[in-house]
């Protein structure tokens, strides 16, 4: 891994830079993670930028991401993490999914404007599903991710006792957490 030259830095919005790379390759990734939660009315801090893309799209984007000032920090299974090597850039995570799942996220998602650029974020239900999936795959994240789910439900006026929410918790085998968040409601 190469180290960044401290005199090299990126000026401007990282979202403008990324949008230009995405347009160049005619890729429309889905913005997830902290920025998607912020756009969904959940107050939180975040340091990296997370996207979902297909494997084909990730392969198209990777050379330009690297030439812009990133190195590959980790490639594992369905995730690629890019480390920012220039001041002004943010670390990037690309979660890779199949085309069908990706299309469902796009179809049910909505557009948001960040730094004058248009991005697609998942629906609140899909964001909740991603958090529940994360809890199942890493139980140590339960407290943090469940808080994100609760905040997403509350800030988007979602009925936590709705059949859709209950189905999501059941799908991931987390009925005990569903009971926990609906006890006081």
Q: pLDDT digit string (tens) for 30-71?
A: 999 999 999 999 988 888 999 999 999 999 999 999 999 999
Q: Is the pLDDT of residue 10 over 70?
A: no
Q: Confirm if 69 and 89 have CB atoms less than 8 A apart.
A: yes
Indicate whether 184 pLDDT > 80: no
- Cβ burial of 151 (10 Å; 0-12, 13-18, 19+) is middle
pLDDT value at 88 more than 70: yes
| SS3 label, residue 185 | coil
pTM: 0.87
The residue extents of the domains of the chain are 14-122, 127-182
Distance CA 168, CA 148 (A): 15
- How distant, in Å, are the alpha carbons of 7, 59, 182 from that of 65? 19, 10, 43
CA angle centred on 13, ends 7 and 15, rounded to 5°:
125
The pLDDT value given to residue 11 = 59
Q: Is the pLDDT of residue 176 over 70?
A: yes
- Per-residue pLDDT at 8: 56
Token reading at 123: 């629906």
Q: In what order do the strands lie in the sheet with 30-32?
A: 70-76, 79-84, 92-97, 49-54, 30-32, 117-121, 110-114
C-beta separation of 82 from 65 below 8 A: yes
CATH architecture for segment(s) 14-122: 2-Layer Sandwich (3.30)
Measured torsion, CA atoms of residues 119, 150, 79, 164, in degrees rounded to the nearest 10: -80
pLDDT-derived band of residue 20, with 50, 70 and 90 as boundaries?
very high
Q: So what's the pLDDT on residue 44?
A: 81
Question: For the segment 100-155, what is each residue's pLDDT rounded down to a tens digit?
Answer: 999 999 999 999 999 999 999 999 999 999 999 999 999 999 999 999 999 999 99
Q: Among all chains, which residue has been given the structure tokens 């469940």? A: 146
Question: 14 versus 12: which is more confidently predicted?
Answer: 14
pLDDT of 3 strictly over 70: no
State the pLDDT confidence band at 6, using cuts at 50, 70 and 90: very low
């Amino acid at each position: 891994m190469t180290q960044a030259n401290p005199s090299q830095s990126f000026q401007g919005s990282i979202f403008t830079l990324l949008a230009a790379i995405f347009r160049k390759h005619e890729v429309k990734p889905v913005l997830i993670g902290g920025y998607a939660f912020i756009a969904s009315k959940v107050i939180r801090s975040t340091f990296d930028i997370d996207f979902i893309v297909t494997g084909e799209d990730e392969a198209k984007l990777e050379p330009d991401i690297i030439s812009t000032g990133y190195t590959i920090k980790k490639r594992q299974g369905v995730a690629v993490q890019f480390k920012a090597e220039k001041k002004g850039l943010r670390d990037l995570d690309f979660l890779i999914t199949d085309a069908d799942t990706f299309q469902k996220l796009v179809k049910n998602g909505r557009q948001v404007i960040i730094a004058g650029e248009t991005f697609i974020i998942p629906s609140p239900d899909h964001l909740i599903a991603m958090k529940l999936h994360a809890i199942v795959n890493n139980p140590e994240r339960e407290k943090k991710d469940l808080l994100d789910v609760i905040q997403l439900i509350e800030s988007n006026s979602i009925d936590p006792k709705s059949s859709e929410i209950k189905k999501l918790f059941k799908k991931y085998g987390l009925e005990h957490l569903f009971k926990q968040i609906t006890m006081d409601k």
